[in-house]
DNA sequence: AAATATTATCGTAATATTGCGATATGGGAA
DNA sequence: TTCCCATATCGCAATATTACGATAATATTT
């Protein structure tokens, strides 16, 4: 199996899970943090920064792009990546909403 | 190779990635949401709620327990699970800190 | 003690992810 | 055009995740 039974869950649950998956790798977090710090940068810089092979870095960038968190624009022979502030904000909101659900009534267990 | 090169990244990056991984599955999100809603409940209820096999549900519970988000206490022949409010709050804080990093200066790309 | 109920663990199969070398693709320079 | 440079994609190997039936472990009931 190894395949997630998405049909058992709500759209909201699947979406949140996918959003979490997008950032569920240290390399992708490192990419995002570097993009935040530098505001924007090209693939080559990220390859150096991460210490992973160029192919691997490119793959992680693709996943982040698929998730919509980053966008890439062609800059001559290079590609310049940056965070999409709108999607980023949406991520922040969705995660916040999820974590806000707990009403902290002291010790809650049985 | 399929193995994450954790040594290339900071402890903070690896931790955040692991926290994201813990909630990166709709079944685990469904479990957490149900625990929030009912405050606490036993494995059997969760098996019914999810529609996954008992073994699979138990496995997801184990992962959430390993992540520290939930705790289980033996209740006769059953096990009663609930959210650990302290860890939950910590998750909220860590994700918030991460998403807060972006200074929204309009259009940021190259 | 024996039967039943509840949950965890084991073993296994299917699929997904991670990583990299090799190769393709497309732009800029000679 | 031909030669580089930067990046993406392909193909493959190793490992991880997801799922479930079968079984083990433990508590309760009969």
Q: Is residue A73 part of a domain?
A: yes
Query: Is the predicted pLDDT of residue A107 greater than 80, yes or no?
Result: no
Q: Is residue B94 part of a domain?
A: yes
Alpha-carbon torsion B7, B12, B18, B21, what sign? negative
Q: What is the pLDDT of residue A105?
A: 59
List bases in chain C with any atom under 7 Å of a protein Cβ. Answer: 5-11, 13-22, 26-28
Strand partners, A73: A80
Read off the pLDDT of residues A32-63 as tens digits, 9 standing for 90 and up.
Answer: 999 999 998 999 999 999 999 999 999 999 99
The structure tokens 């998403």 sit at B99
Q: Is residue B1 part of a domain?
A: no
Cα–Cα distance for residue pair B2/A97, rounded to 1 Å:
32
Cα–Cα distance for residue pair B51/A5, rounded to 1 Å:
10
Domain coverage including residue B46: 10-98
Q: What is the pLDDT of residue A25?
A: 98
Nearest by CB: A20 against B24, B109, B110: B24
Sequence-ordered list of residues with C-beta below 8 angstroms from that of B72, at least 6 positions apart, any chain: B61, B65, B79, B80, B81
Written as six digits, the tokens of B69 are 């988000």
Q: Is residue B106 part of a domain?
A: no
Written as tens digits, the pLDDT of chain B (110 aa) is 567 889 999 999 999 999 999 999 999 999 999 999 999 899 999 999 999 999 999 999 999 999 999 999 999 999 999 999 999 999 999 999 999 978 765 556 77
* Binding residues for strand D (Cβ < 7 Å): A 1-5, 42-44, 47, 54-55, 58-59, 61-62, 72, 77-79; B 1-3, 21, 24-25, 27, 52-56, 59-60, 63, 74, 76-77
Q: Is residue B50 part of a domain?
A: yes
Q: Is residue B104 part of a domain?
A: no
Mean pLDDT across chain A, nearest whole number?
Answer: 92
> Quick check: A77 CB within 7 A of strand C?
yes
Could you tell me how many helices (H) and strands (E) chain B has, helices first? 5, 3
Question: For a pLDDT cut of 70, what percent of chain A falls above it?
Answer: 94
Q: Is residue B3 part of a domain?
A: no
Number of domains making up chain A: 1
Q: Is residue A69 part of a domain?
A: yes
* Residue B69, domain CATH: 1.10.10.10
> Quick check: B4 CB within 7 A of strand C?
yes
């Amino acid at each position: 199996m190894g395949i997630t039974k998405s049909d058992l869950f709500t759209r909201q649950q699947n979406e949140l899970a996918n959003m979490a998956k997008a950032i569920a790798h240290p390399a992708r977090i490192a990419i995002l943090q570097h993009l935040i710090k530098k505001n924007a940068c090209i693939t080559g810089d990220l390859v150096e920064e991460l210490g992973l092979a160029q192919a691997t870095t490119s793959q992680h960038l693709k996943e982040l792009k698929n998730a919509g968190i980053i966008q890439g624009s062609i800059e001559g022979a290079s590609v310049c990546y940056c965070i999409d502030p709108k999607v980023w904000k949406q991520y922040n909101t969705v995660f916040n909403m999820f974590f806000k659900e707990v009403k902290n009534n002291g010790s809650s267990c049985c």
